[in-house]
Structure 1
Amino acid sequence: MLSSTSKSFFSLSIFSDFRFIYGIYFLLILFATIRIVGWEGSNNYSIFYYSLYHLLEVKSLYALYPAQYEDHYHYAPAFAAIFAPIFALPYSVGLFFWQLLFAGVWVYAIQKLPITNQQKVFAYWFGLHELFTSIVNSQTNPLITALSIFAFISFEKKQPFWAAFFIMIGFNIKIYSLVAAGLFILYPKKGVFIASMILWSVVLGLLPLLLTSPAKLLWQYELWIRELFIKTDSDKWLNISIHRLIHLSISPNIATASIIGIGVVLFCTVYIHRQRYSDYNFRILLLASILVFQVVFNPVAESPAYIIAVTGVLCWWFVCPKSSLDWILLLSCFILTVMSPSDIFPATIRMNFVVPYSLKALPCVLIWFRILYLMHFPQPTVHQQNLDLD
């Protein structure tokens, strides 16, 4: 439950009116797009945009093209085909629809979660700045977040075919979104889900054949696999994740694979509680764990990715006991994770402490361990109604 102060704030009609909230989100998207198109430009969107043309022109998706953008393209070849309708538009028009689509799909995902309207309002205001951080960087992270939520909702509606679809779409954008497949263990029709995963992996994997030849597509996939192995420990001191926290506080020599391996083992320990699979709180805590895990254990996680983790924090918050510890964790997440990149956060603290010590990641890491604890040792809490899924 929210505190009385939070209740009184969010009970004000204008702040709890979804039309007002959606209007604020739309204005922020419009502002971000105008700023990007008119002044700053978007290196990320340029990487996405030109991928379609490189695919059509039979050029390597993974080579450097300094005249068009900096850095590399890191996504599956299917990514360029999936979003071809947007990339085929004029650059500025496509960028606007890209921003609108990705912010809108996150807003829609929160609206479809089986939580109360009051909780949705809280989620929209809590996640506003974090979503903006991702949008101004033209990132895919809001969509990745939404796809995990859509997979969860599909499982809840006993639709493993569509759960597999959403998970495989996410995989072809960012491979770590495959973690959402961990939900299937809690639900029936596991065989249907596995068969659907195979089907959608083939369908989406071959989708670029609409734009290129089989031989050239195979070549692109070979390049993609090679690219995945390049970007591991190279960003050890640039990422914002548990990896950097461990390298700073314990030893820089601890291997990335070891940290991920320990994380996977800890993540999987909750599956021993088979008797709790029917408990809604347990299932949404697993969704929270998946969303946070995708970011904090990603060895190349950047600040704009934290819309995924913050959404996981919100899922945890709605079913946690609301103890003093939970409140401290939530507030630390809002201050260090959500607000630290903003202009209202003291720049001296950000540059001397938050950035050097990767403190943006710390609250989410601690909350992930809190989620595991609650899944192993459930605490008394207000019953979360399993609301109908439309």
Structure 2
Amino acid sequence: MQQIIRLFFQPRTLLILFLFLGVLASVQAVLLGLKTFVPDGELYTNYNNYVIFRQSFFHLLEQKDLYILYPKEHWDLYKYSPTFALFFGFFAYLPDVLGLSLWNVLNAFLLFSGVMALPKFSDKQKALILLVVVLELMTSLQNTQSNAMMAGLLIWAFAALERRHYLAATFFIMATVYIKIFGLVAMAMFLFYPRKERLALYSIIWAVVMLVLPLVVVDWNQLSFLYQSWLRMLQDDHSASYGFSVMGWLYTWFGISANKLVVLGTGVLLFCLPLLRIRLYADFKFRILTLCSTLIWVIIFNHKAESATFVIAMSGIAIWFFAQEKLSLENQVLLVLAVVFTSLSPTDLFPRFIRKGILEPYVVKAVPCILIWAKIIWEMLFSKPTLKEVNLD
């Protein structure tokens, strides 16, 4: 039995598991056939998000507006950058089952490899982190979204910064910005490292390169129009919902219809407060807590957060938990709450009437993440992290 357990904790075994899940989720989505999003509505595939991404590439080539509805092709809007639409050309011409499988495998691999790249973590710690996030990974893969990629890129950015690979680190962060703009928050980690002018220069270079990259298929006027349309869409989208977020929690639990910008500004302030402890910048534990705070913050303060986005937050929670030198009872309870109510709440473990009647309406999925983020901020503000390397063996 111990040999089987040791085998399961081997990086190669976990890599095979993650890649297999990518293929499994893709084949499952194709085999499920068509569905509607509204009663008596148009029929769409069960991998609708992938279709949105794929069609964005063709819309880009055809000089169309990326940010309007195309109800004959897919449900919902495309919400990413023109650069991401161009990137999807790597998948767009492939048969759906192959392109979708490669897309999901890429997402799974980036998350796996990001965790494996974390410095000062043992293989056992990394394996435990990956096992905690695997349920949320599957949810994201089944929705054919980019969230595992986002989590992987943000973790890779931290790992590269720790190794002073600044060109790579800034690329990873800018790539997240051109997927989902909230990746900008990760630039706060630049404060911890020397050569900040180099970090700033590389960031600007990558930002400009990614900004103009679509010029290989569109002219400047069309690209300018697309960025303006993207901005308008994001502004309109801002008022659409509360999502599984702090805003949703305040509204559904307490009836507080808070201004989203006020809540977001409060979140930014709380996120930045620990960064005033400049003397702790040299402490690895403090830096890893900042990574965890970032991964959770970008979800719980995102008014559009949905179930499939929480692989990002759970990655931060898992890293936070297994980076601890002493596993306190309260933190163990918080992790159990996160696994049960964040990762397992969308599953059949909970009867449908509970999921639809309580868990979803009251955004229960977000609550453990909010509590853990608050705990992380507390630890960063009032605890003195240690430089001692954690060893769970």
Report the TM-score range of the alignment, normalised by the length of the smaller protein: over 0.9
Query: 2:270 is matched with which residue?
Result: 266
TM-score by length of 2: 0.92
1:131-146 correspondence runs (5 A) = 131-146=137-152
Partners of 2:51 and 2:389 in 1: CA distance? 43
CA change 1:293–1:36 in 2 (3 A) is same
Please point out which of 280, 305, 309 is paired with 1:276: 280
Check the 8 A contact 2:241/2:303 in 1, yes or no: yes
Contact 1:10 1:16 in 2 (8 A): no
Task: Give the gaps of 5 or more residues in structure 2.
Answer: 34-44
Q: Which residue matches 1:5?
A: none
Q: In 1, distance between residues paired with 2:175 and 2:3?
A: 35
Counterpart in the other structure of 1:53: 58
Distance 2:198 2:3 in 1: 42
Asked whether the equivalents of residues 129 and 322 of structure 2 are also in contact (C-alpha less than 8 Å), the reply is no
Q: 1:307-322 maps to which residues of 2 (within 5 A)? A: 307-320=311-324, 321-322=326-327
Q: Does 1:326 align with 2:331?
A: yes
- Per the alignment, residue 240 of structure 2 pairs with 234
CA-atom RMSD in angstroms: 1.9
Indicate the percent of aligned positions where both proteins have the same amino acid.
Answer: 34
1:320-366 Cα deviation digits (max 9, x unpaired): 34211101100000000011112233434322321111010000000
CA distance in 2, matches of 1:252, 1:363: 19
How far does residue 175 in structure 1 lie from its aligned partner after superposition? 0.5
Asked if 1:201 is matched to 2:207, the reply is: yes
- How many residue pairs match? The answer is 377
Superposed displacement of residue 110, structure 1: 1.2
2:74 paired with 1:69: yes
Aligned-pair CA distance for 1:11 = 8.1
Between the aligned partners of 2:318 and 2:3, the Cα distance in structure 1 is 16
| CA deviation profile, 1:23-66 (whole Å, cap 9, x unmatched) | 33333222211111122431100100001110111111011111
> C-alpha distance in 2, partners of 1:11/1:270?
42
Asked whether the equivalents of residues 21 and 138 of structure 2 are also in contact (C-alpha less than 8 Å), the reply is: yes
Specify the code of the residue in structure 2 equivalent to 1:136. Q
Give, in whole Å, the separation in 1 of the partners of 2:29 and 2:348: 18
The answer as to 2:154 corresponding to 1:148 is yes
1:122 aligns with 2:105: no
The residue type paired with residue 75 of structure 1 is: Y
Preserved CA contact (<8 Å) 1:10 1:121: no
Q: 1:15 aligns to what?
A: 8
Give per-residue Cα distances to partners, 1:164-219, cap 9 Å, x unaligned.
Answer: 11111100100111111110011111111111111111100100011111111111
The answer as to 2:259 corresponding to 1:255 is yes
- Sort the Cα spacing of 1:11 and 1:262 in 2 relative to 1 into closer, same or farther, 3 A: farther
Residue in 2 aligned with 1:296? 300
Which residue of the partner structure matches residue 4 of structure 1? none
- Correspondence 1:112 to 2:105: no
Alignment of 1:179-198 (within 5 A): 179-198=185-204
d(CA) in 1 for partners of 2:162, 2:308: 29
Provide the rounded CA distance (Å) in 1 between the counterparts of 2:131 and 2:278.
35
Give the conservation status (yes or no) of the 8 Å contact 2:250–2:257: no
2:124 aligned counterpart, secondary structure: helix
**Is the Cα contact below 8 Å between 2:128 and 2:322 reproduced in 1?**
no
| Cα distance in 2 for residues equivalent to 1:255 and 1:63 | 26
Residue type of the alignment partner of 1:213? D
Greater shift in the superposed pair: 254-263 or 39-48 = 39-48
1:361 partner SS: helix
Label 1:123 to 1:385 Cα distance change in 2 as closer, same or farther (>3 A).
closer
What's the TM-score, normalizing by structure 1? 0.92
The whole-number CA distance in structure 1 between the counterparts of 2:205 and 2:384 is: 40
Determine if the alignment matches structure 1 residue 96 to structure 2 residue 89: no
Q: 1:189 & 1:87 partners in 2: Cα distance?
A: 39
SS of 1:14's partner is: helix
* Residues 345 and 359, structure 2, Cα contact 8 Å, conserved in 1: yes
- Any conservation in 2 of the 1:139–1:304 contact (CA below 8 Å)? yes
Pair 1:56–1:22, CA change in 2 (3 A): same
Q: Distance in 2 between matches of 1:273 and 1:288?
A: 17
Q: Where does structure 1 lack aligned partners over 5 or more consecutive residues?
A: 1-7
CA distance in 1, matches of 2:206, 2:11: 35
Which of 162-171 and 9-18 deviates more?
9-18
SS at match of 1:12: helix
- 2:171 — aligned with what? 165
Give me the whole-angstrom Cα distance separating, in 2, the residues matched to 1:327 and 1:11.
25
C-alpha contact 1:10 1:122 (8 A) present in aligned 2: no
Counterpart residue number, 1:25:
18
